[in-house]
Amino acid sequence: MSPDSFRRVNASALGRITELLPTWLPGGRQEGQEYVCASLEGGQGRSCKVNLATGMWADFATDAKGGDLVSLFAAIHDLRQSAAAQQLAENLGVSSDKTHYRLLNKADKSRGTAANSSGQIIMPVPSHAPAPPDIIRRQVAGSWDTRTVAARWAYRNEQGQILGYACRFNLPDGGKEVLPQVYGEANGKPRWQWKSFPVPRPLYGLDRLSASTTDDFVLVCEGEKTADAAQRLLTDAVAVSWPGGSRAVHKADFRPLAGKPAFIWPDADRCGYEAAIGVAEVLASMGTAAHIVLPPASVKSGWDLADAEVDGWDSAHVMQHIKQHALALPDFRDITRDQHEITSNSTYQNSTSKQNIPTAIRIEKGASGELVDACEAVLAKRDLPNEFKIFQRGSQLVRLGTLPTSSQSFATACSQEKFVIMEAKKSFILDVLGRYGRFVKLDRRSGELRAADPPKDVADTIMGRAGLWPMPPLRGILTCPTLRPDGSLLLTPGYDPQSQYYFAHRLNVKISSQPTRSEATDKLEFIKDLLSGFSFVEPVDRTVALALIISTMVRPILDHIPLFAITAPVRGSGKSYLMDIAAIIATGRRTAVLAATTDSAELEKRLSGSLLSGDPLVSLDNYNGILQSDLLCQAITASTVKVRPLGISPSVEIPSTTLWSANGNNLVLAGDLPRRSLLCRLDPGCERPEERQFSFDPLERVLQNRTEYVSAYLTIMRAYIVAGRPDMGGTPFGGFGQWSALVRSALMWVGEPDPCASRDAIMDEDPELGQLRTLLTLWWQEFGKSAIKIKRLIERCHSNDSGLFEVLDDIAGERNGPGVNARRLGHWLKRHKGRVVDGLRLVQVPGPNMASWQVVQVKAGEA
């Protein structure tokens, strides 16, 4: 940058100095011809001063100073002079050239620089170090100012060793100033210095965090004094803070809090709320979902837990307030945005982010890693429009898409507009970078930086960095309000970092905060009236239909959900219609239907497509006969599944979050599906059920009153949770413990039959179980407990014209002629060995050349 350009940038900034300084150094104030604040991070105080007429500045806490606003901007953002001048020119819209960077090195020397000339900070402080001084003596406005430490807070590591201090000074005007004090080398000698901790900065309270128990939760406060007050008020919590105040959240090391239950209690002002949001975002990036406590509405600005202690609050009062006013990050942001117009994010960008001026990303040789990092930062921006946001889902980058018309993708018919998860392809990544990143490249002829397109190969590199992506993880999409793991309601649309779901709904549900059992049973009757026209065989079949809807709505807090099967003896019984009603309540649209096929390979392709698109509810429609699929079994009980997108060789691993259902005439489940399923049976008891007439159309009623039905279901669930989640007993349902403890138990609590009672009908219809039962019974009758080899078994049964031979032929008969295939029969026996049916079990007996098989009796309690 030429000297003339440098002067233009500085003059432009100086002309807007009163506008820029409050955004660069928030929390400060104007005193005559100076702008004063606590430090280069802003805040209340007088240690940092900027002359409004000349731009000269000094931070007396760190001895940093400069002669113009460019050097101040460099010090605040930790930039080189050259980079700061260029960035400031872009922010202010000042034209400049970029060829004379060497002049800025001279400017650093002549004007002074914010670069730290001191040596290395020593942490922990050596035991032989002298006691820290209590007095600070600085030259301010031509005279010496001497102040004495009024309070000191020790920062310690997990072993209790001193890392440094935060010291408070009382100002003559009644204000306060807090300065960091560390031990380190200066001019070749170790001494105490009024200087900040190195980044990442340690938390205040690490020593008590290491001494806490697993039952303790963490309470994050702003300020050391407040953290100590919180610790006195809450003996079952660990109170911590971070150095530097509200503007230094991104410089603190919050990694010791990863995985711990955490709450954040902010100061009751805008800066406090912004800091709390920043802390919550940092913790969310580490997989820790922290709740932010909303301070009381009646308190003064800046009120914190130290004030609460003075006001007479006790531990019970604090805990009650946390329980009633702790909010998830999206809810807290929505509430406080209206009060304080918060627009910050975790990196606390300066005012240019509000003007939507992107930082220039320079394309140059030898800096490919930095280029990719910068591009990923653009893709991970939280304020991108929904249609351009990119998420990571397992080992795949994805985006949210909308299907406005019917789609037959992956043989799934989508009859209404819906959100789907789509692969973020290279072309889309380049599109987002082109829209929301600003790329520049040096023109060798003119020596100027000119606008450029994002390099195409950067998309390849980004897609190859799985495991390093900064984009938020996405488990799935839900289109209705739901519950959090702690049982509280999650009503706010948008992305929820805690559950990692995207909520796409516009429902305004109204639910009592403490619903009673009586309210829950009233809501149940309201829902049952909707289903009154369906011909359920038994009450348990209606309960399965109710469980289907609830399960879809609370999917984010459940690990696994069983398959819901709907069967009837005749067409037109309402199987698909019932699925549509359930889908509209839970998702706002008709069911995503997967077309029937008897081709197992084709079925696997269609299942993979539905998994990749993230459909919350999929119905395998009109499977008239036997349904069996290993991939479907995995998708039901596995947290993640590996599937191969069409046209791509390598498989991708994605979360399995779809709720699966199937319907058909006389539907039969086989293989491992029966133990993973619930069954709803319909039987209209007439020849032409499609000609029946009803007093109302339940589908039309749901479409008009979806909000009321969603509210009814959530009221039932909340009432059960508020009641303490009573144990309703019931036989275990292996693999679906969370579902049983919540959905199953809630329905039983309001008087419905146990939905798992429907499993008896499934097992009775299981063809493999029927074959095994017949085989074991006839085998025992013919051979008793004698062991026999497979070849001998086939020969004896065939020669005796035994009924057992017919069973063997059904299981493993030759495809092209009479006889039983011994190899296939052996595989079948191995697949069923050890299973107990009617008190009999198949056992493999090892032998010198070939194993034998026998059937043994199992007494009650031995299985």
What are the structural domains of the chain? 3-111 (3.90.580.10), 135-193 (no CATH), 206-351 (3.40.1360.10), 358-474 (no CATH), 517-762 (3.40.50.300), 766-857 (1.10.10)
* Residue 358: predicted pLDDT: 43
Short-list 713, 747, 739, CA closest to 561: 739
In 3-state terms, what secondary structure has residue 301?
Answer: coil
Q: CA Rg, the chain, in Å? A: 34
For 221-354, where are the alpha helices, taking DSSP H only? Answer: 224-233, 270-285, 305-310, 315-325, 329-340
* Residue 4: predicted pLDDT: 63
DSSP-derived secondary structure for 336-389: HHHHH-----TT---GGGTTT-PPEEEE-TT-HHHHHHHHHHHHT-TTS-GGG-
* Residue 617: predicted pLDDT: 86
Cα–Cα distance list, 390 to 383, 425, 493, 693 (Å): 11, 10, 17, 49
Cα–Cα distance list, 14 to 17, 68, 121, 355, 591 (Å): 5, 8, 35, 19, 62
* Residue 667: predicted pLDDT: 86
DSSP-derived secondary structure for 789-809: -HHHHHHHHHHTT-HHHHHHH
Residues 596 and 624: beta-carbon distance below 8 Å: yes
Question: Which residues is 665 bridged to in the sheet?
Answer: 568
| Alpha-carbon 498 to chain mean position | 4
- The C-alpha torsion from 356 through 359 and 360 to 361, rounded to 10°, is -120
Structure tokens at 841: 């079990």
* Residue 340: predicted pLDDT: 43
Q: Where are the beta strands (DSSP E) in 404-505?
A: 412-413, 418-423, 438-442, 449-452, 476-478, 482-483, 489-490, 494-496, 501-503
* Residue 140: predicted pLDDT: 56
* Residue 538: predicted pLDDT: 93
At 421, phi and psi to the nearest 5? -95, 125
| 860 vs 844: CA distance, rounded Å | 21
For 36-188, where are the alpha helices, taking DSSP H only? Answer: 69-77, 81-92, 102-111
Residues 722 and 520: beta-carbon distance below 8 Å: no
Structure tokens at 59: 């931070």
Which uninterrupted H or E stretch holds 577? helix 575-587
| Alpha-carbon 29 to chain mean position | 39
| 503 vs 517: CA distance, rounded Å | 28
| Residue with token string 């399965």 | 544
Question: What's the residue count for the chain?
Answer: 863
* Residue 99: predicted pLDDT: 35
| 38 vs 614: CA distance, rounded Å | 50
DSSP 253: -
| 454 vs 393: CA distance, rounded Å | 24
The amino acid present at 240, given as its one-letter code, is: V
DSSP 125: P
Cα–Cα distance list, 465 to 284, 380, 391, 535 (Å): 21, 14, 13, 54
At 759, phi and psi to the nearest 5? -70, -25
Q: Cis link prior to 655 (omega < 30° from 0)?
A: no
Short-list 320, 269, 263, CA closest to 292: 263
Q: What is the mean pLDDT of each run of 10 residues along the chain (863 residues)?
A: 71 80 83 84 82 83 81 82 80 54 36 42 93 80 74 94 92 81 87 88 92 82 95 92 88 88 91 91 83 85 91 90 85 64 34 39 85 90 86 91 56 54 93 89 79 92 91 89 83 83 83 90 94 92 93 87 92 88 87 77 83 83 83 88 72 84 88 89 85 84 91 94 91 89 95 92 74 85 86 80 80 79 86 83 84 84 56
Contacts 24+ apart (CB under 8 A), 440-446: 440/360, 440/361, 440/362, 440/363, 441/362, 441/363, 441/364, 442/98, 442/362, 442/364
Enumerate residues 6+ apart whose C-beta is below 8 A from 190. 122, 126, 129, 183, 184
* Residue 409: predicted pLDDT: 42
Neighbours of 704 (CB within 10 A): 10
Residues 268 and 281: beta-carbon distance below 8 Å: no
Cα–Cα distance list, 551 to 629, 665, 760 (Å): 22, 24, 21
Q: State the angle between helix axes of 3-15 and 17-24 in degrees (0 to 180), rounded to the nearest 10.
A: 80
Question: Which residues is 362 bridged to in the sheet?
Answer: 440
* Residue 649: predicted pLDDT: 58
Structure tokens at 767: 């063809």
Secondary structure in 3-state letters for 502-514: EECCCCCCCCCCC
